[in-house]
Amino acid sequence: DARVTQTPRHKVTEMGQEVTMRCQPILGHNTVFWYRQTMMQGLELLAYFRNRAPLDDSGMPKDRFSAEMPDATLATLKIQPSEPRDSAVYFCASYPGWGEQFFGPGTRLTVL
Amino acid sequence: AQTVTQSQPEMSVQEAETVTLSCTYDTSESDYYLFWYKQPPSRQMILVIRQEAYKQQNATENRFSVNFQKAAKSFSLKISDSQLGDAAMYFCAYRRGGGATNKLIFGTGTLLAVQP
The DSSP bridge partners found for residue B13 are: B114
Of A11, A13, A9, A36, nearest to A23 by C-alpha is: A9
> Three-class SS string for chain A?
CCCCEEECCEEEECCCCCEEEEEECCCCCCEEEEEEEECCCEEEEEEEEECCEEEECCCCCCCCEEEEEEECCEEEEEECCCCHHHCEEEEEEEECCCCCCEECCCEEEEEC
pLDDT of B1? 80
Question: pLDDT per residue over B63-116, tens digit each?
Answer: 999 999 999 999 999 999 999 999 999 999 999 887 666 789 999 999 999 999
Q: What is the mean pLDDT of residues A35-63?
A: 89
| Nearest by CB: B101 against A55, A89, A108 | A55
Contact criterion met (CB < 8 Å) for A95 and B109: no
Chain B nearest-CA distance from A97, in A, is 7
pLDDT band, very low/low/confident/very high, at A2 (cuts 50, 70, 90): confident
> Three-class SS string for B35-61?
EEEEECCCCCCEEEEEEECCCCCCCEE
Residues of B in contact with A38 (CB under 8 A): none
pLDDT of A61? 86
Question: pLDDT per residue over A81-98, tens digit each?
Answer: 999 999 999 999 999 888
Question: pLDDT per residue over B14-43, tens digit each?
Answer: 999 999 999 999 999 889 999 999 999 999
* Spatial distance between the Cα atoms of A10 and A107, rounded to a whole number of angstroms: 5
pLDDT of B100? 62
pLDDT of A37? 96
β-strand pairing of A102-103 with B10-14: unpaired
Contact criterion met (CB < 8 Å) for B107 and A91: no
Contact criterion met (CB < 8 Å) for B45 and A103: yes
| Nearest by CB: A42 against B43, B101, B108 | B108
pLDDT of B99? 61
pLDDT of A98? 81
| Nearest by CB: B106 against A31, A42, A106 | A42
Which of A34, A43, A92 is most worth mutating to test chain B (most B CB atoms within 10 A of its CB)?
A: A43
Q: What is the mean pLDDT of residues A10-38?
A: 96
* Spatial distance between the Cα atoms of A33 and A101, rounded to a whole number of angstroms: 9
Contact criterion met (CB < 8 Å) for A42 and B45: no
Q: Which residue has the higher pLDDT, A63 or B101?
A: A63
On whether any CB of chain B is under 8 Å from the CB of A83, the answer is: no
Average pLDDT of every residue of chain A? 93
pLDDT of A4? 96
pLDDT of A46? 94
Burial of A39 (0-12, 13-18, 19+ CB in 10 A): exposed
pLDDT band, very low/low/confident/very high, at A58 (cuts 50, 70, 90): confident
